[in-house]
Amino acid sequence: MATPADRSAVREARRVVVKVGSSSISGANARNIEPLVDALAAAHGRGVEIVLVSSGAIATGMPYLRLSTRPSDLATQQAAAAVGQNVLVYRYQDSLDRYDIVAGQVLLTAGDLENPTHRSNAERAMERLLALRILPIVNENDTVATHEIRFGDNDRLAALVSMLIRADALVLLSDVDAIYTRPPEEPGAERIGLVTDGSELDDVTFGASTSGVGTGGASTKVSAARLAAAAGTGVLVTSIERVADALAGAEVGTWFVPGTDPARHGRP
C-alpha cells in the first residue's frame, strides 16, 4: 500500500467513495455521465469496491417541471427531486449496462446517520451491496428531507458515507481541477497540491458555487475533506474531467492526507 501522502493510495485502495456535483452531470453536462461511468467501471473491474455519491436529482428534475432555475421553496424542491432521482438513476444504469454492472439506489437523510438504529441499517445495507458487487448510488433523500435536517450539501454526505463504510479514499469531483488559494479565475490563484493538517488553508479565500443548480463550492469540499481525512480517509479533490486519472492515482487535484483513526482497523 502506498503511503497516505501519496495519491497512488487512491489506486491501491480497496474501497473508494466518489462524489459528483449537480452541475457536473445535469443539463448539457449530462454527457459527463458516460465517461464518469467508464472510470468507475475500470476501478470496479480491478476489484475496487466503488460507492458513488451523486447530487443532481433536483437539477435533473427541473426541466420536467418546466423550471429554468432551481426552486427556492421546499415543496417544489421535493417534487423536482422525486422526478429527477428516477431519471438520474436510469441514466447511470443505462450507462453501467455497458459493463454489466448493476446499480443500487441508496437515499439517506441526515437523521438516518444520526439515529443509531438507522445508521446501523444503512451500514449493513451498504456492506451487503458491496459484497454482492453492486455499485451503490447514494443521494440525499430530497423528497422527504426538510431544511432543518438536511446534510447541507452532498460533499458532507460523501464524507459521512466514507466514514460509515470506512472507505480507504474519497474522491470529490466538481468543475474545478483542484483547491486554489483563491477562486481560480482570479489573478494570482495558485493550486494547492497537498494538505496535511489543514493549516495550509488558513489564508485561502474560497468562492461559492456559481452553477445555479448546486449548493456546494470549494469551502464545502474543504470542510468535507477535513472531516473525512480526520477520520482516516484520504481525500482527493479534482474535476470530473480528471476522474479517470484520479482513480488511477495520478498527480492531479488536491490531496488531503488522512489522519490515523484506530477505529478504522475494525472494518471487515
Q: How far is CA 110 from each of CA 115, 122, 139, 174, 230, rounded to the nearest angstrom?
A: 9, 12, 11, 22, 20
Q: What SS3 state is found at 170? A: strand
Q: Is 223 annotated as a binding residue?
A: no
Strands of the 254-256 sheet, one edge to the other? 103-108, 135-140, 49-54, 15-20, 169-174, 234-239, 254-256, 194-195
Q: Is 221 annotated as a binding residue?
A: no
Q: Is 19 annotated as a binding residue?
A: yes
Cell of 267: 472494518
Q: How far is CA 58 from each of CA 22, 95, 104, 184, 200, rounded to the nearest angstrom?
A: 8, 20, 19, 27, 34
Q: Is 197 annotated as a binding residue?
A: no
Q: Is 154 annotated as a binding residue?
A: yes
Query: Binding site membership: which residues?
Result: 19, 55, 142, 154, 174-175
Query: Binding site membership for ATP: which residues?
Result: 19, 174-175
Query: Binding site membership for substrate: which residues?
Result: 55, 142, 154
